[in-house]
Structure 1
Amino acid sequence: MNALLVPAHEDEAAEMVRAAAGSGRSIAIAGGNTRSGFGKATVPACSLRTAGLSGIVAYNPAEMVITARAGTHLLEIEEALVENGQMMAFEPIDHRAIMGTLGEPTIGGAFATNASGPRRFTAGAARDSLLGVRFINGRGETVRAGGRVMKNVTGLDLVKLMAGSHGTLGLMTEVTFRVLPRPQTEATMILVGLDDAEAVRAMAAAMAMPVEVSGAAHLPESVRSKFIGSGMADGAATVLRLEGLAASVAVRMAKLEAVFDRIAPTERLDADVSAVLWREIRDVHPFADCTEKPVWRVSVAPSAGYQIVADLRQHAAIDAYYDWQGGLIWMRMEAEPEGEMIRHFVHAHGGGHATLVRASTAMRAETAAFEPQPSAIAALSARIKHQIDPAGIFAPGRMAGQ
């Protein structure tokens, strides 16, 4: 039987972990349970929800640093930041639509999964904003790593280890992270009708210009119509986002248009419509289709992404679009996950990471969710896991919450 544990405070959570370790029971950690269905389809003995570990502990807008308990809803954090003209630079993805889940995303889940959106390639991933953590290890001990000020690098490696660990190393109870000023406005330029290769070259050219592009994505014609409310013309859309002061955005946009008007027809989206478009790019809106068709998140060199998709299309029916200047591919397969083939082409084009985000229970039982590690790295990971969670109670690949 799968027991549901909902600790009301950190000490109670530590007691629950100690009890599980003593009896050899596995634990799957969840925040809002918004990523339920990710990873291997295993059933742990216990599910621990962080809903009771909630609330902003400290927030000093002048220092641009915030501390919150792991179960705090992202919405609560965002509302506090908006009031002070600030934001989470890493734009954490909301997985509910693509995973078909309910609940509320949490800040602990965002860091546990290293959830990073379109600004990732300029502002860094979630882990790059994380300054400190409190977590409970596999012995039921409370550990603090890092600090509340950016100069404090005590325990920095442990902080980075916890970010993206998917709840397999310990239970994060509190996180401290930096935030940035919120841009006054934004606008998006659309290049219409480019094919995948042309789009990648155009995005690279835009990134080389001194205009501070904060979002660069390519939406092939097959997915372009699935983005709602954008008002984009028919055909493929290569989209470039600018953010900042209104006068600065206007000048930089004019520079972009002066260069790219010679390459393809261009359009412009104002702030409100631009924000909707990039939220849908972040949340994989084209594949939020209420199905269990396999969805992959593939991170590679920007110049390799379109080549991998082209190779795959010779062997399987897929749909795809590109974020991070072409370096992040979101792919939906029409039938089987085809994990072995996808990873073969990823390695053939310089390597990267292919993660199976969504699939049926049967498919998840047969396909590894994460990119298999080389033997040396796998051995190192196993030693780290043993040091932090010696009894192996934190179920691998089962971090469901965000």
Structure 2
Amino acid sequence: MTPTTEDELAAIIKEADGPLRIAGGGTRPIGRACNGAALSTAGLSGIRLYEPGALTLVAGAGTPIAEIEAALEAVGQRLAFEPMDHRGLLGTDGSPTLGGAVAANVSGPRRIQAGACRDFLLGVRLVDGQGRIIANGGRVMKNVTGYDLVKLLAGSYGTLGVLTEVALKVLPAPGCAGVLRIEGLDDDAAVRALCRALGTPFEVTGAAHLPSHGDGPVTLMRLEGSEASVAYRAERLQAELSGFGAAKLETDPVRVADLWRDVRDVAVFHDSPGEVWRISVKPTDAPGLVAELPGTQALYDWGGGLVWLLVPEGCGTGAAEIHAATAERGGHALRVRGDRDRAAFGPLPAPVAALQDGLKQKFDPRGILNPGLMARMESA
């Protein structure tokens, strides 16, 4: 089913007599698989309003991200939250959509400086599990009506409602980008260097460490702005990080863009078999967590606060060990690639789980929207 209007979508949901499997571009099959009838938002596509001067864009949930990025690029603007393209990592086809990015709160390397996807949402329109059309928020930056509900939908994976339209804030694109590279650091030293860089006033917009990259480990820090600003901040940051080794500056726009696209999309794991986990922890806890999970490989983003973990088959590390090591450090883990017959999300504290269940009951009392997708592993 591919409705082309909000009213048609509402009628489909209201009349549904069984579970519905909600999808946008079909590029991000994350969570436990749902066997419901397929319901696509691809027909709810198109940019409805774009006011560059107001930094505001409104588009249908099924609008391809590529279409939005092309429209923004034409006037020197961009999606500041840098949404990841999961196709290479998950081996999927199709085209990532705006609604899909919002539903999963997809936020790339620039999150450490600009914020997450949810931070740029101004308003949403959706159809809940009872077939009710709900409009929340607005189309301008000063309108914060229903702000909490707008944010609630980001990261709900279509389990509370089906997004039909999204209004969001966009930002100007910088004139220049540069990357400082430090070669050869171990994980602990690399995270310390990234934390040092992020603690300076030099506005680092990307901070990643690849333990295995070409000839060895490489630690990366991105700076964006005018050419003069990037040069000045890079020089100051090089001096700040002198104790970690020589930091070399790369400013070729093609190489810089390709490098951060690879970090954003976790390209290092695209052709490597095994499960892939997305783990959020305090940056300084990340190296110890990885060391505690033998046989795994890691990519550190967000200064170490985001760990992409590859778990090869037979390495001896399982979901229970990953969730336990993460929970011990106050973080959370999500299996992004792997067996979709099992729960992919980690356990929740009882009060939070009760709150989540209550929200689900309010928005989707029949439990027909992506049922089971956000099933969580039980606490040990």
Interval containing the TM-score (normalised by the shorter chain): over 0.9
Name the CA distance, whole Å, in 2 between partners of 1:116 and 1:325. Answer: 14
2:19/2:371 contact within 8 Å kept: no
**CA deviation profile, 1:326-365 (whole Å, cap 9, x unmatched):** 000000101166111011111222x111000001xxx332
Using the TM superposition, give the Cα deviation of residue 262 of structure 1 relative to its aligned residue in structure 2, in angstroms.
4.2
Say if 2:178 and 2:249, in contact at 8 Å, map to a contact too.
yes
Q: Which residue of 2 aligns with 1:284?
A: 266
Counterparts in 2 of 1:102-181, with a 5 A limit? 102-181=93-172
Q: CA deviation at 1:252?
A: 0.7
Of the candidates 365, 369, 376, which is equivalent to residue 341 of structure 2?
Answer: 365
Name the SS for the 1:303 alignment partner.
helix
Q: Unaligned regions of 5+ residues in structure 1, if any?
A: 226-233
Q: 1:398, CA displacement in angstroms?
A: 4.3
Provide the C-alpha distance between the structure 2 equivalents of 1:175 and 1:254, rounded to a whole number of angstroms.
40
Equivalent of 2:248, from 248, 263, 267? 267
Correspondence for 1:340: 320
Instruction: State the secondary structure of the residue aligned to 1:218.
Output: strand
Letter of the structure 1 residue corresponding to residue 259 of structure 2: L
Q: Aligned equivalents of 2:242 and 2:152: distance in 1?
A: 45
Distance in 1 (CA, whole Å) between partners of 2:33 and 2:54 is: 43
What secondary structure does 1:62 align onto? Answer: helix
Count of aligned pairs between the two proteins: 371
Q: Residues 290, 302 of structure 1: CA spacing in aligned structure 2 closer, same or farther, 3 A cutoff?
A: closer
1:383 is matched with 358
The letter for the 2-side match of 1:331 is: L
The corresponding residue for 1:374 is 349
Name the structure 1 match of 2:11.
15
Task: Tell me the equivalent position of 1:33.
Answer: 26
Taking structure 1 as reference, are residues 176 and 268 closer, same or farther at Cα in structure 2, changes over 3 Å only?
same
Q: Which one of the candidate residues 267, 274, 281 is aligned to 1:300? A: 281
Report SS of the residue matched to 2:101: helix
TM-score by length of 1: 0.90
The CA distance in 1 between the partners of 2:264 and 2:187, in whole Å, is 19
Q: Answer with 276-285 or 335-344: which moved more.
A: 335-344
Distance 1:397 1:182 in 2: 39
Q: 1:167·1:396 contact (CA, 8 Å) conserved in 2?
A: no
Task: State the shift of 1:149 in Å.
Answer: 1.3
Aligned to 2:378: none
Q: Please give the alpha-carbon distance, in whole angstroms, between the structure 2 residues aligned to 1:84 and 1:58.
A: 15
Aligned position for 2:377: none
Structure 2 residue identity aligned to 1:41: A
| Aligned-pair CA distance for 1:7 | 0.5
- What is the rounded CA distance, in whole Å, between the counterparts of 1:290 and 1:189 in structure 2? 27
Task: Name the residue aligned to 2:334.
Answer: 355
What is the one-letter code of the residue matched to 1:327?
G
SS of residue in 2 equivalent to 1:274: helix
Counterpart among 208, 225, 231 of residue 250 in structure 1: 231
- Residue-by-residue CA offset, 1:39-93 (whole Å, 9 max, x unaligned): 113311x111111100000010011010000000001100110111111110000
What does residue 228 of structure 1 align with?
none
How much does 1:9 deviate? Answer: 1.2
- TM-score by length of structure 2 reads 0.95
Task: Read off the aligned partner of 2:288 and give its amino acid letter.
Answer: Q
- Structure 2 residue identity aligned to 1:354: A
Does structure 2 conserve the Cα–Cα contact (< 8 Å) formed by 1:100 and 1:290? no
Aligned to 1:323: 301
Instruction: Check the 8 A contact 2:105/2:116 in 1, yes or no.
Output: yes
Q: Secondary structure at the match of 2:53?
A: coil
Post-superposition offset of 1:290 = 6.5
**Aligned residue for 1:65?**
56
**Gapped runs of 5+ residues in structure 2?**
375-380
Change in 2 beyond 3 A, CA 1:397/1:180: farther
Give the CA RMSD over aligned residues: 1.4
Partner deviation per Cα, 1:90-123 (whole Å, 9 max, x = no partner): 0000000000000000000000000000011111
CA distance in 2, matches of 1:394, 1:75: 27
Distance 1:397 1:159 in 2: 23
Q: Tell me if the contact between 2:34 and 2:371 (Cα under 8 Å) persists in the aligned partners.
A: no
Q: Name the SS for the 2:15 alignment partner.
A: helix
